[in-house]
Structure 1
Amino acid sequence: MIGFIKGVIEEITEDSVVVDNNGIGWQVFVPGSSLAGNIRQGEEIKLYTYLSVKQDSLSLFGFLNRDDREVFIRLLDVSGIGPKGALGILSVMSADDLRFAVLSDDAAAIAKAPGIGKKTAQKAVLELKDKFKLDDAFEKKLAHEQEKAGAAAAQAGAETDAVQALVALGYSGTEAMQAVRKVGAGEDMDSEAILKAALKYLF
């Protein structure tokens, strides 16, 4: 099994990315929630993967963290839900939201996923309920919120440093801020990477 893949995003499609790893382009199917603002062409990325093996095809599914992958695998244990269905569920709701939906018998929330009907959603609740614990669900949600808050604070600091560096180079504060905002900095970009990207907009 391929545990993860790390490389540069070469291409982004409606439901997948192509990751250039040492000259080989791997097509990896990812949740729509990951594509929304979290993945950008040309950036380096690490995806935790699951390889789906069928009689006539091999498909690689990728996730930004291990928890999403584990929940994806849990969904595959539900009769009637295949890889594309599981990916669809994680495209409309986070792993945390899914756990709480299952624990609160909220099949309607799961049924909003493309290709997942009411009966399949109810089956997911029934079959997953004994695999999720309320205490664990709260702990993981809190950990994820703290992680996001820490990443947001670090990103804000990196952007501030980049703006200050641009001002030191002779640009006005307004020009510097506009250039940094145009970059749309990702969470893995430090102040130096943001500065280099912003300078391309200014030249």
Structure 2
Amino acid sequence: MFYYVEGRVALLEQGLAVIDCGGVGYACHTSQNTVGKLKIGETARLYTYLYVREDIFELFGFGDAEELGCFKMLISVSGVGPKAALAILSIATPSQLALAIITEDSKILTQAPGIGKKIAQRIVLELRDKMSKGQLEGAAGKAAEAIAVPQKGTVNHTQEAVAALMVLGYSQAEAFLAMEGLNTAEMEAEDIIRQCLKKLATQ
């Protein structure tokens, strides 16, 4: 129904941003990562998701399409609702979340309020399972072939970055194109993912 809302930031609270669009204030539930990027009185654009369940009608908004994508991905996991998804996105950026899923590091997710060990493990398992074993192996193999990395251990960073971008919905080809011009030999996986997301967001 809504792709994004754009207007003046009228109010900021924990987990909430009100965007004034032509005199109408849209209350958007959001992550603290997004709240931290906004300033009252300035113009902002939030990419939105309308959550409708029985008598619930809520609008969620995020500072970029990547965070919105992660939100949708998280609420697709059984037992994970919008509040839990926001809690996770408040302590982890899209690149950190994708990397945690690829490396099966559920501990970072338990740092979010209300996210216990079991639900964190379920998130990692279900989202990682969305990518077949063949896709993961293909991402790793193609990354090793396509990108020359002299330093020991950096190939793994590249493999993780490609696989993490695929978890976020990008193709292998898009991941490789986004890596062009990056000095991946000197970068950690999270840095590679972050730079690629910036490039992909402008395409």
For the aligned pair, the TM-score class normalised by the smaller chain equals 0.5 to 0.7
| Moved beyond 2 Å, runs of 4+ | 130-134, 136-149
Task: Give ranges in structure 2 of 5+ residues lacking alignment.
Answer: 137-159, 166-174, 179-190
> What residue number does 1:33 align with?
33
> What residue number does 1:113 align with?
112
1:70-113 residue CA offsets vs partner (Å, 9 max, x unmatched): 11101011111001111110000001101110111111111111
> What residue number does 2:141 align with?
none
Per-residue deviation, 1:136: 4.5
Per-residue deviation, 1:130: 2.9
Give, in whole Å, the separation in 2 of the partners of 1:106 and 1:143. Answer: 16
TM-score (norm 1): 0.67
> What residue number does 1:81 align with?
80
| Greater radius of gyration (CA) | 1
Aligned pair partner of 2:164 in 127, 137, 156? 137
Matching residue's letter, 1:34? T
Give, in whole Å, the separation in 2 of the partners of 1:84 and 1:13. Answer: 15
Contact 2:88 2:112 in 1 (8 A): yes
Matching residue's letter, 2:22? N
Give, in whole Å, the separation in 1 of the partners of 2:32 and 2:4. Answer: 19
1:6-21 maps to which residues of 2 (within 5 A)?
A: 6-21=6-21
1:137-159 residue CA offsets vs partner (Å, 9 max, x unmatched): 2647636337769xxxxxxxxxx
Aligned length: 148
What is the DSSP-based 3-state SS (H/G/I as helix, E as strand, rest coil) of the residue aligned with 1:27? strand
> What residue number does 1:71 align with?
70
1:1-203 maps to which residues of 2 (within 5 A)?
A: 1-36=1-36, 38-131=37-130, 134=160, 135-137=162-164, 139=175, 142=192, 144-145=194-195
Percent identity at matched positions? 35
The 3 A distance-change label for structure 1 pair 107 and 144 is closer
Matching residue's letter, 1:4? Y
What is the DSSP-based 3-state SS (H/G/I as helix, E as strand, rest coil) of the residue aligned with 1:5? strand
The 3 A distance-change label for structure 1 pair 54 and 93 is same
Contact 2:102 2:164 in 1 (8 A): no
Task: Give ranges in structure 1 of 5+ residues lacking alignment.
Answer: 150-203
What is the DSSP-based 3-state SS (H/G/I as helix, E as strand, rest coil) of the residue aligned with 2:50? strand
- Greater relative CO, 1 or 2 (CA 8 Å, sep 6+): 2
What is the DSSP-based 3-state SS (H/G/I as helix, E as strand, rest coil) of the residue aligned with 2:60? strand
What is the DSSP-based 3-state SS (H/G/I as helix, E as strand, rest coil) of the residue aligned with 1:6? strand
